[in-house]
Every structure is written in C-alpha cells, then in structure tokens.
Structure 1
C-alpha cells in the first residue's frame, strides 16, 4: 500500500481559508439523509466482520465531542465504543506508546472511536517536549506501519481533524469560562496551549503530510459552524463505508 496522492484535498491548515456553514433547516434535511445510511453501513460492516476505526483530532473546543455524539447516535450502541484518550498513566509510560492503543482496538464488526489518539506522539508530546526529537521523528513511520497492519486485518480507518481559527477558539474559551455548566471543560493547560498555536500548526501540518495514506486518510473539517462540521463527518463516513464495503447503490 502506498501513500495516497491527494491533489484535490486540503492537507494543510494554512490552506483552509473558508469556513462553510449550514442553516438549521438544511442541517436537519441532510441529517435525515445520513441517519439511515450510517446505521445500514455499520450493520453491513458487522455482517462482513470489518472493524471500523474513526480517529478525531483537532483544536481544543473545536467540537470533537459533539461530532462524535452526533455520529454515535446513528450507530447501534452494541457495536461501538468511544475512547477518550488522556495522558498516559505510569504503566503506559513504561511501555511503547502504541501499547495502550492496541488494547483498545475494536473487534471484527465493531466500531472504535478515538477522541484523541496515537497521534499525540507527534502533536502534544512533540510540542510540549514529552518525548525526544528522535522519538517523535521516527513515530511517523511507526504510525503508518501500525495503521497498515490494521488495514491488512480488514479495518476501515478514517481520521478527522476539526479545525477552527484562533479567534474562534478564544471566543469559545470565553464562553466556557462564563458558563457555570461548561466551566469545567476549560483548564489552565488549554490556555497555555493557545500560546503555542504556531507550533501546533506546524506539527499538525507535518503529521498530515507524513501520515495521510490511501488506507488511513486524513479529512480536514472546517468546524467553526458545528452543523457543517457534523454533516462533513457523517458524509465522509457514509461515502467511505459504502465504497469500501461495496454496498449496493439501491441500499444507499
């Protein structure tokens, strides 16, 4: 399996200059179209014993959790598991960084959804200095080989990056700070990370360049408008599963 050529897809955050939006009624109409398709496709994957892996990365407050909830609402709850990935514990730090993800991979016919993932090695661990340059530099090849093994096993992999502007993130941070019900979502680490926005942008762009493959593609989602972002995720999941599983067009 070779690297996928992506002349028509944006794989650099600096090239996202437009943030589309959807009106609420348009969103509801599109949502109805995708609900049955998502449910049908995931059940089809179950029948074909194909594991599904959806990775969600992106800026703090970009809407990853909301997009995941919207996606899982259309999947049989017996089929999926969401993994919210935080900093590794002591046991995990004493093993190869991919070890903790091997344990969380879905069974045949099941869906594994990762809110943050193994890409922490080349994002936060790189930027914050939690690993050496030698370690994060070789991680690109390790990750591609890891995902290639999963693809050979039959896994269908999609990786989403939800992108917002720095100004939009600041607005959402302020809204969380002023909302007693959402204040818990905001941490000092979130504020510190904002100061390193250029470094995270550089790390993300290199990550896209070096880990986008035909068996595990990156999809950059302009996410200032949450309706648009959620439909973008659903449409890509539908199209990919229908194509990969060769679902007859009459059932799409």
Structure 2
C-alpha cells in the first residue's frame, strides 16, 4: 500500500513556538541520553529521504544539546574501493554503537535498495535479496539489545525544486548542489517506487519506519527528535526513566 502519497500536510510553526518546542524536545532527548549512558543502552538511528529534504539540518538539531561523548554521526556515501570489495553491510558492522552510545547514520544500509537499485550499482538479484538480509541484520541487532529507529524525510517535487534553486542562489549553499542531484531528480518516480517497496518489505516490529513530511523544515526537525525520543522512552526501564520530561505536542 503506497504511503508517501497519503502523508498528512505538515503544519506551519511560528518561529517563537518552534524555538520553545525545540528546546523542550532537545532537553528530553538529552535527559534520555544521560539515562541511556548510565544504563549502557545502545541506539541506531537511520536517516533516509529525498535530496534536499533537510536531513542534515535535522541531525544538527537532534545532537545540538547531547553529550558529545555519547553519540556519533556517520555520513554514508559511496563505498571506498576497499569497502566495495566486502559485503555491503561490512562498513556498518564496524560502526555499531558501543554501550551508552547513540549512532546516527546519515544514509544507511538502505542504500542497497534505494540508490544502488535505481542507479544500477546492485543487480536485481542483489537488491531483491537485500530485503531479507536487512531484516535479518536488524533482527540480530535488536535481539542483542540495540534500539533501532529509521526515519524517512519526504518532500514533494515542487518543494525540492524550490530548495534546489534556493541553494544555487546562495553562495554559502551552492556547493551542496551537484549534477548527481539533478540526475536523481530526473528519476523521481523510480526513487519513490524503490522507497515504497522498501517500506513494504522492511517496516517491521523490530525495525520500524517513521515517515516525516519534511515540506516544513521546522516541523520535520521536531518530528525527528520526537521519534527518537519516543523510541528511547519505549525501550527504557520505567524505573530508570528521567523524572521529568516535557514531550509537548505540536
């Protein structure tokens, strides 16, 4: 069943309201991070989504108030030659969180069934097999005690074009734009189909997806922090949860 076309509109948030909510949610996430550090918990957050959907900005807000000793962010691009000689999951095995650590993957092992599928870097047999491999990998992580959350940031084609043009007009952001961005945009429908197939095959109880309408950046940033915070709350021992959390609605 398609999911992206049925997303609810993202609400607009005024600057003052957004700032207040952001502080509260960041405080909650910090409190839970400190609880997790004491308890030796481990968490992985996978960040995926369309180009220019605001993934990097959301990650920056997510970690802004966290203890830097307790998290790592890995930006996953094309594999190095020595990585390409190994199984595609190898470079994630070597970056798994240690006790008390949150690891955020900016792009993740789902690249196997997204960009590698669409751009032909993986054969049809390889990316079709990857659904099972990913599910088994995630099941193994969760069985070993890892808290796992995957987030998809989604924008519509018109908003993506507006952000592309905005970047090109800003000398401090123009560097973000490459020919690859425009090529990916030309294959929009292929990426949407790949994403829908990915949700269908890999949205499981142990590895759930949260799809975030990112047409409004402020809302998307808050929604991402909320999803991670909620996952930590659900996984935490009730006796070890922070005494006071805000967790406001928006």
TM-score, length-scaled by structure 2: 0.94
Q: Pairwise mapping of residues 20-35 of structure 1 onto structure 2 (< 5 A)? A: 20-35=11-26
1:54 paired with 2:37, answer no
Residue in 2 that maps onto 1:150: 141
Q: Pairwise mapping of residues 232-251 of structure 1 onto structure 2 (< 5 A)? A: 232-247=223-238, 248=241, 250-251=243-244
Residue in 2 that maps onto 1:141: 132
Residue in 2 that maps onto 1:175: 166
CA displacement, residues 114-150 of structure 1 (integer Å, 9 cap, x when unaligned)? 0000000000000011111000001001001111111
Residue 104 of structure 2 aligns to a residue whose secondary structure is strand
CA displacement, residues 139-194 of structure 1 (integer Å, 9 cap, x when unaligned)? 00100111111111111111111111101101111111111111110000000000
Residue 48 of structure 2 aligns to a residue whose secondary structure is strand
2:97 to 98, 106, 110: 106
Q: Pairwise mapping of residues 1-252 of structure 1 onto structure 2 (< 5 A)? A: 12-247=3-238, 248=241, 250-252=243-245
Q: Is the 8 A contact 1:20 1:225 kept in 2?
A: yes
TM-score, length-scaled by structure 1: 0.93
Residues in 2 aligned to 1:35 and 1:121: alpha-carbon distance in whole angstroms: 32
Residues in 1 aligned to 2:26 and 2:59: alpha-carbon distance in whole angstroms: 14
Residue 251 of structure 1 aligns to a residue whose secondary structure is coil
CA displacement, residues 29-62 of structure 1 (integer Å, 9 cap, x when unaligned)? 2123212211111111111211110110001110
Q: CA deviation at 1:246?
A: 3.0
Stretches of structure 2 that go unaligned for 5 or more consecutive residues are 246-250
Q: Is the 8 A contact 1:20 1:222 kept in 2?
A: no
Residues in 2 aligned to 1:38 and 1:174: alpha-carbon distance in whole angstroms: 34
Residues in 2 aligned to 1:11 and 1:213: alpha-carbon distance in whole angstroms: 16
Residues in 2 aligned to 1:199 and 1:94: alpha-carbon distance in whole angstroms: 27
Residues in 2 aligned to 1:154 and 1:107: alpha-carbon distance in whole angstroms: 11
Q: CA deviation at 1:17?
A: 4.9
Larger CA deviation: 25-34 vs 229-238: 25-34
Residues in 2 aligned to 1:131 and 1:35: alpha-carbon distance in whole angstroms: 38
Off by >6 Å, runs of 4+ in structure 1: none
